[in-house]
Amino acid sequence: MARKLEGKVALITGSGRGIGREIAFKLALEGARVVVNDLDAGPAADTVRAIRDAGGVACACPGNVAAADFAQRFIDTAIDNYQGLDIIVNNAGYTWDNVIQKTSDEQWEAMLEVHLTAPFRLLRAAQPVIRALSKKELEDGRRVVRKVVNISSVAGLFGNAGQANYSAAKAGIVGMTQTLAKEWGRMNVGVNCVAFGLIKTRLTTSVAGVDSASIDGRDIKLGVRPDMLEAMERSIPLGRGGTAEEAAGAVYLFCIPESDYISGQTLMCSGGLTGF
């Protein structure tokens, strides 16, 4: 049986760990050639190695998605290695929470930079490449559908106490998704968004003895207090937080041919949770 993404080239930010790693695996096992990114070179290389060991095709482009030169470097890695660009998943990010009166300018700007400005720059850099590919395909009488999947959060749809910065950025990515769906439809690009609820990763469930991590040079608190996590899970209709594999499945839905006529949409992957 033919794999659904055979020959496609997929770029996934923040794919060295957690949800992004599972997205990279899922797309690679369906035949996509994947460009893996992580802030740190080690996790990116580990994901590439694991994909190759499983029979997939992948290469790494480590680095900070918020760096001014990252977007072009990421696009160039895909073109240089695989001569194409079919799927972009803007997944990289983290949270840095506080109530608004205690949120510094640095905290505010950091969340907008990683969750909104970095995807904007990547999609801006991708547009000339996609336009040229689409024009050539049209001249050849071929129709190729490409996909963009941006990652939002239920916090971006409904807000969440202590996350004014994160919620604003995640709301912004929904607006950008809807705008690009209108701009890029003429190039046969479906642009959609997945809004996650509580997904269990290192950012929400800390490893025993580890309560912080260095992310982009900042010491960021990891995890949610067990009592708070339990209360959050009780509020989810399915009764539990989601897994990284389940989160990847929602992204996958927007990458496969069955979703070729879907664009400008936001899918909640939240176990039925529709607000906090």
Instruction: Please write the tens of the pLDDT for every residue from 254-267.
Output: 999 999 999 999 99
Helix, coil or strand: residue 235: coil
pLDDT attached to residue 206: 55
pLDDT < 50 stretches in the chain: 208
State the CB neighbour count (10 A cutoff) for residue 220: 15
244-253 vs 18-29: helix crossing angle, rounded to 10: 50
Q: What residues have CB less than 8 Å from 58, skipping those under 6 apart? A: 24, 28, 33, 34, 35, 36, 47, 48, 51, 52
pLDDT attached to residue 149: 99
Q: What CA–CA distances, in Å, run from 26 to 20, 51, 117, 151, 233?
A: 10, 10, 26, 16, 26
Domains of the chain, by residue range, sit at 9-199+243-269
Nearest to 196 by CA among 238, 153, 233, 155: 153
Q: Both ends of the chain: CA-CA distance in Å?
A: 42
Rounded Cα gap, residues 145 and 240, in angstroms: 35
- Superfamily of segment(s) 9-199+243-269: NAD(P)-binding Rossmann-like Domain (3.40.50.720)
pLDDT attached to residue 215: 77
pLDDT attached to residue 232: 85
pTM given for the model: 0.94
Q: Is 252 one of the catalytic residues? A: no
pLDDT attached to residue 276: 64
Instruction: Please write the tens of the pLDDT for every residue from 22-78.
Output: 999 999 999 999 999 999 999 999 999 999 999 999 999 999 999 999 999 999 999
Rounded Cα gap, residues 109 and 106, in angstroms: 5
Asked if residue 276 lies in contact with residue 160, where contact means CB atoms within 8 angstroms, the answer is yes
User: Would you put residue 169 in left (φ > 0), alpha (ψ -120 to 50) or beta?
Assistant: alpha
pLDDT attached to residue 221: 76
Q: Of 94, 166, 252, 261, which is the active-site residue?
A: 166
